[in-house]
Every structure is written in C-alpha cells, then in structure tokens.
Amino acid sequence: MSISEWMMNQVDKYLAHNYNPLPVVVTKARGAWYEDVGGNQILDMLAGYSVANFGHCHPRITKAIIEQASRLVVAPRSLYSDELVEFGQALAQFCGMDKVLPSNGGVEAYETALKISRKWGYDKKGIPRGRAEIIVCYNNFHGRTMGAISASDVPEYKDGFEPLLFGFRWVPFGDSDVLARLITENTVAFFVEPIQGEGGINIPPDGYLREVVSICREHNVLSVFDEIQTGFGRTGYDLAYQYDGEGAKPDVLIVGKSLGSGLAVSAVVANNHIMEVMTPGIHGSTYGGNPLACAVAVEAINILRDEKMSERSARMGAYFLARLKEIKSPFIQEVRGRGLMIGVELVPSAGGARRFCEALLKKGIFCKETHINIIRLTPPLMISRVDIDWALERIERVLTKF
C-alpha cells in the first residue's frame, strides 16, 4: 500500500463521509500548483472553490499571517482591535457601502443576510411578524446549513433534514419578469448569485442584474447578491455584478472565500439604513472579525488592486474560454464562463463529468465536477498563459480521446 493510499484510508476511517474526494493527497502548494505526497506536481483548476484567487501561499498573504499571528490572534467583538478598524474601512470602501458585519465561512454570512433581511422587513417595511417572504432562484447554492438548504430546490440537499425553514419562494434564474410578478407585500428580499457556480456556471442574460435591482427598489424589496464565489476578481471584475454597470449595485452584498485567501473570512456589507436593524445582542460570531482574519482580508484587497487581478482574470479567462470552445469533442455540449469562472457542460451520454475529472487528475490537472455533467474550471487568477496552454493540451486529449 502506498503512502497516499494509507492516508486516504485513514481519512475514510476517522472522518465523516460527507465528501467524495478525488484520489490524491496534497502536501504543498504554491501559485497555481499543488504537490502531492509522492512529489508529483498538479495544476490547480479549482482554487479551493475560488478561495485561492491570488494563488496558494502568496508571499504577501503569508507575511500578513506570520506578522499578525506573532502579535495578536484573538480579540472578541466585546472589545475593539486595530485590525478590525482597517478591515471594516477597507471592505466597506471596496464595496462602496457603509457597514460591514464580519463572520467566518460564506454560509455563515448568508445566514446573517437572511436574518438582516427579515429584521429589516419587520422593523423598516412594517411586514407583520412571521409573514416575511424571501425570493430565491431555482438551482441556487448558498451552502448547506438549515437556512441554505431550506432556500434550495435541490431535493438531495433537503432529504432527511426536515422540517425546514419556511418563507421562501422560487423564480427561474435570469428571468426578471417572473420576479416582478412574484413579489408580494410580504416580500422582504431577493437573493441571487450573479453567476450560479455550484449550479453549473450559469450566466444570466445581459442586463438581468440591473433589472432585478430596479424591480426590487420599485417594490421596496432588498436586492441581496451572493458574491461569495464570484467576487474579488473571479469573473474579471472586482465584483461580478459590475458587468451590468453601476445600476446593478445591490442593497446587500455577501462576500467570502477569496477575501481570506485560505483563512475563513466572510461578511455581509450594506448601507446604514439596512444594517442599523442589527443592534447589540441579537447577533454575534465568536471568530467574526478576529485580528488574524482581518489582517489577511485587508492584504487580499490590496493584492487584488496592486496586482490588477481582476484585469488579469478577464484577460486570461477570455483566452482560456476561446481555446476551450475550439476543442472538437463529441462529449462537449457547451462551454460558458466569464473571467476565470468556466464550465464545460457535457452531453448526457458522456456518462457524467466525474470520470473526466479523474482522467484529468491522472494527467496532472485537478478540477471538480458540478451538477453531474459539468466540469468546473476556476484556477487561481494569477495562472500564467503557459500553464493554461499546458492544461489545454491535456484537457483536449481527455475530451477527444477518452
């Protein structure tokens, strides 16, 4: 038995089986490359579900972690810390909003946004208690907590976890007309991903986000954009909604993942008239806004700006997407994406994307399937054209000679 096999067996023995990992054990990473325990180099085409936007072990992120960890790691929100000041200011200014409510993982920020929306509906809009409705999209993915799966329409996420939260209504993603018709006097918010990631890299029609923001404002409903996966340069823009222009700016933003570049950092960002419904004692997070996370998030925002990561994502993504579309394969149904958020949808007869991801791993490329028949390609934004060309050669070989 190899060391990799032994380690995978130990994971299977001691950890809950809520994931089905590809058969590789990594031990190091730098830039866009992993190294496994056998010393093999593997090109990362997932970036930790868009966590490692700026690459693995970016020297400035590493430096920020070491310096902050040697000075101050823990400071609860029951007092102030100097890093919290910088974090709040940097993120609020980055998003162009007034207030930040920090948390840890992305789904925690999503749950926080649910609470803010309902509280705003009762306190500001005057909806009768217990009647608040939130509109979400079919095929959404906001996480796997009780609130997130209650908002999902995917049966597998819900099965066995009932009773779920009530108060959600569903509309087709990309259809603003249905949204306008479904809003009632009890609607408090519309939650949407600018691009559905886990749902299959689904991209809405041009102008859709601008339209839904306009509809929400017309009906006094909060527009809430989940930019956890799409934010911080992933789609070729600082935030994905910016593709549709300033008119697409939502009332509430949910951010996370690459904001922490590997550390758990997330936040809800909104203006004062919304965030002021959150008063002392009604919500909290033990680690939310901890100094270590704050220091890393501030540096991540600086790196995004200094190294022009959004522009690089747009440039590298356009090249990667164009080259992928040139591949002539009987297995490919569609290639779609924006920036370095790309999905290769396979035909139903292809037998699912998992076997293609396993084949790519054997050729040194790590990527992951989503929605059974879609290969998701979301490499670190700092990936080079040389690395993309190296990957394209192997992707074409797998997709044409499988």
Under DSSP, is residue 129 helix (H, G, I), strand (E, B) or coil?
A: coil
- Both tokens of residue 145? 């907590």
The third-level CATH classification (topology) of the domain covering 60-306 is Aspartate Aminotransferase; domain 2 (3.40.640)
235 within 8 A of 227, measured Cβ to Cβ: no
Q: Which residue out of 44, 226, 238, 251 is catalytically annotated?
A: 226
Find the distance separating the first CA and the last CA of the chain, reported in whole Å: 28
Beta-carbon-side half-sphere exposure of residue 34 (alpha carbons within 13 Å): 21
Beta strands in 104-251 (DSSP E): 133-137, 168-171, 187-192, 222-226
CA distance 69 to 67: 6
Beta bridge partners of 143: none
Rg (CA), the chain: 21
What is the pLDDT at residue 402? 75
Site of tokens 């949808």: 345
Q: Which residue out of 190, 257, 366, 387 is catalytically annotated?
A: 257
What is the pLDDT at residue 210? 98
Residue 401 annotated to the active site: no
Residue 363 annotated to the active site: no
Which among 400, 390, 321, 402 has a CA at the least distance from the CA of 355?
A: 402
Pairing status of strand 341-346 against strand 332-338: antiparallel
Phi, psi of 128 (to 5 degrees): -60, 140
399 within 8 A of 327, measured Cβ to Cβ: yes
What does the pLDDT look like over 103-139, one tens digit per residue?
Answer: 999 999 999 999 999 999 999 999 999 999 999 999 9
Angle at 220 between CA 218 and CA 225, to 5 degrees: 95
Environment class of 348 (CB within 10 Å of its CB; exposed 0-12, middle 13-18, buried 19+) = exposed
- Both tokens of residue 8? 């995978």
Residue 141 annotated to the active site: yes
Domain 3-54+308-401 matching CATH 3.90.1150.10: the answer reads yes
Phi, psi of 181 (to 5 degrees): -75, -25
Q: Residue ranges per domain, the chain?
A: 3-54+308-401, 60-306
- Which residues of the chain fall short of a pLDDT of 50? none
Q: Which residue out of 54, 87, 94, 141 is catalytically annotated?
A: 141
Q: Where are the alpha helices (H) located in 121-190, listed in sequence order? A: 146-150, 155-158, 176-182
